[in-house]
Amino acid sequence: MSEPRTLRIDIWSDVMCPWCLVGWGNLQKGLAQLEGEIEADIRWHAFELNPDMPREGEESAAHIARKYGSTPEQSKAVQGRMREAAQGAGVSLDYEGPAPEPQRWMWNTFKAHKLLTWAGETFGPEKQTELKLALFRAHFNERREIDDEGVLLDVATGVGLDRGEAEAALASEEWAHKVRTEERAAWDLNITGVPAMVVEHKFMIPGAQPPEAYATALRRVAEKVPA
């Protein structure tokens, strides 16, 4: 029996993006359909949905209403559809902390991207993915302030990263430059929304797709690209 084919998947994503978490869950389901046939080498890249978000953040419903002109009813309906999509993808957008449930806030994610870029380049894609999922959890399920350095360091140490090294990465201009480089790469690739997955450096899969769509797309890439 032949070994499974490994395809590189570069994912531009933001920690604030619920559809990015849904897309991740559905990608995993799609890869499960390809077990023994195709495996994925996944790298995460920086994309800020709200690069101008101030330090104090913005309450999520107010942010959506301001940015998209949505009424409270429309915003609630969208959140309901996102929650259903998340359940279907095997992920959760629901708060899991003590009652009463706090409001969901949107935060600036530049610092989080610095940590993710540092983790990926220093410790490899598996540790980067572990950190990414922990940041998703901190934001969606724990309602933590993702722009707060103390929170980011707690999340980093929670996945086994050294706190001092993570603190140095947050203070580093080198990692800030690398994040800006990744964001420019998204621009060059005409990525205007996330998630956006680029397979083998050339085949784009935009948006959060159903598992079957991911499985089909990856099979087609494997057929087109020489092993």
The mean pLDDT of 198-211, rounded to a whole number, is: 97
Looking at residue 174, its pLDDT comes to 97
Beta strand 5-13 with 196-199: parallel, antiparallel or unpaired?
antiparallel
- What is the per-residue pLDDT across 28-69, written as a single tens digit (0 to 9) for each? 999 999 999 999 999 999 999 999 999 899 998 888 888 888
Q: Which helix (H) or strand (E) holds 182?
A: helix 173-188
Cα dihedral 210→213→215→219 (10° resolution) = -170
8 Å CB contact between 108 and 149: no
- What is the per-residue pLDDT across 127-165, written as a single tens digit (0 to 9) for each? 999 999 999 999 999 999 999 999 999 999 999 999 999
8 Å CB contact between 137 and 91: no
Distances (CA, A) of 111 to 2, 123, 170, 185: 42, 18, 6, 18
Q: Which helix (H) or strand (E) holds 12?
A: strand 5-13
Looking at residue 63, its pLDDT comes to 86
Looking at residue 92, its pLDDT comes to 97
Cα separation, 94 vs 81, whole angstroms: 13
Looking at residue 66, its pLDDT comes to 85
Cα separation, 39 vs 19, whole angstroms: 22
Global pTM value = 0.96
Decide which of 131 and 78 is more confident: 131
- What is the per-residue pLDDT across 161-181, written as a single tens digit (0 to 9) for each? 999 999 999 999 999 999 999
Residue 1's pLDDT band (cuts 50, 70, 90): low
